[in-house]
Amino acid sequence: MVIESSGPLHPAPAFILCTARSGSTLLRYLLDTHPELCAPPELHIGALCQQLLWVHTYTVDEEQALEPEWAGASARRRTRRVVDEIMRDYCKRQGKLLWCEKSVSNLQRLHVLDDVYPDAPLIFLYRHCLDVVASGLEVERSLPGRSGFEPWLGPQRKPFEALVEYWCDTTEQLLAHEGANPRRSTRLRYEDLVTQPRRVLPRIFKLLELDWDPQMVDRVFVTPHARGPGDDKILTTSRIESGSVGRGFSLPWPTLVPEQLARVQSLLAQLHYAPLAS
């Protein structure tokens, strides 16, 4: 049996956890502006960790049979080592030390990220239900299937009601995970990010144990950022704008069935949004 180091080789990364269409690209640009922090495009780190765990688990068959707990811990360490090495090289090329990843697909693999990075700071990004749905409907009309709304959308589903259910399901999952990890988590609402970034960003950098500089907000769109999967709209953006806040309120939310509307109202209250009112 090979004896491995029990501790991580590199500092833990951070993860932005959110629904689709919640403003995570803007947040990653803001974080990526910090001189010590890389925030790359969506890399699907959770999916990578899941695949590596599988490979590492089933390439130590003897240990898996004789010492399953040791084999599991070994697979987690080996997985983290591979991802750390990839991202260390990425950070080095960017001239930075730490990294933060924001793939929406990570929400489907929270248990995997917890296994590999139990010490990772978690940034929970939320956005109002109706604005997420409005943005999602817009994307689905132009680029169907791109935003990860399956399996909620389907041929027998009304898109509006399906995306409301998507928001409810994923928001409940986010709130549960936030509640289970209070010491390494912080919450951020998109509306606060775009209207008062200098008030809400300091606590993000406090969680990450990085210095906060208010001037970073002014440098976001003059600082080079890596391009890749994500929201293409930001490539033509030159300032933080709040014009999209509230545009979803024109959607026909009063037509929701009472059970679904009550679910939305409950989640809005937990996130300290005003209740929907006719």
**Domain spans, the chain:** 14-127+181-243, 129-173+246-278
The overall average pLDDT reported for the chain is: 91
**Residue 270 predicted with pLDDT over 80:** yes
- pLDDT band at residue 1 using 50, 70 and 90 as cut-offs: very low
Residue 203 has pLDDT above 60, yes or no: yes
Interatomic CA distance for residues 26 and 22, integer angstroms? 9
Angle between helices 159-180 and 129-142 (to 10 degrees): 130
Query: What integer pLDDT is reported at residue 142 of this predicted model?
Result: 79
What is the rounded CA–CA span in Å between residue 128 and residue 205?
A: 23
**pTM of the predicted structure, to 2 decimals:** 0.93
Output 264 or 64, whichever has higher pLDDT: 264
Q: Are 239 and 65 in contact (CB under 8 A)?
A: no
Instruction: Kindly state which CATH superfamily the domain 14-127+181-243 is placed in.
Output: P-loop containing nucleotide triphosphate hydrolases (3.40.50.300)
Residue 275 to residues 80, 122, 150, 173, 192, Cα–Cα distance (Å): 42, 27, 27, 20, 17
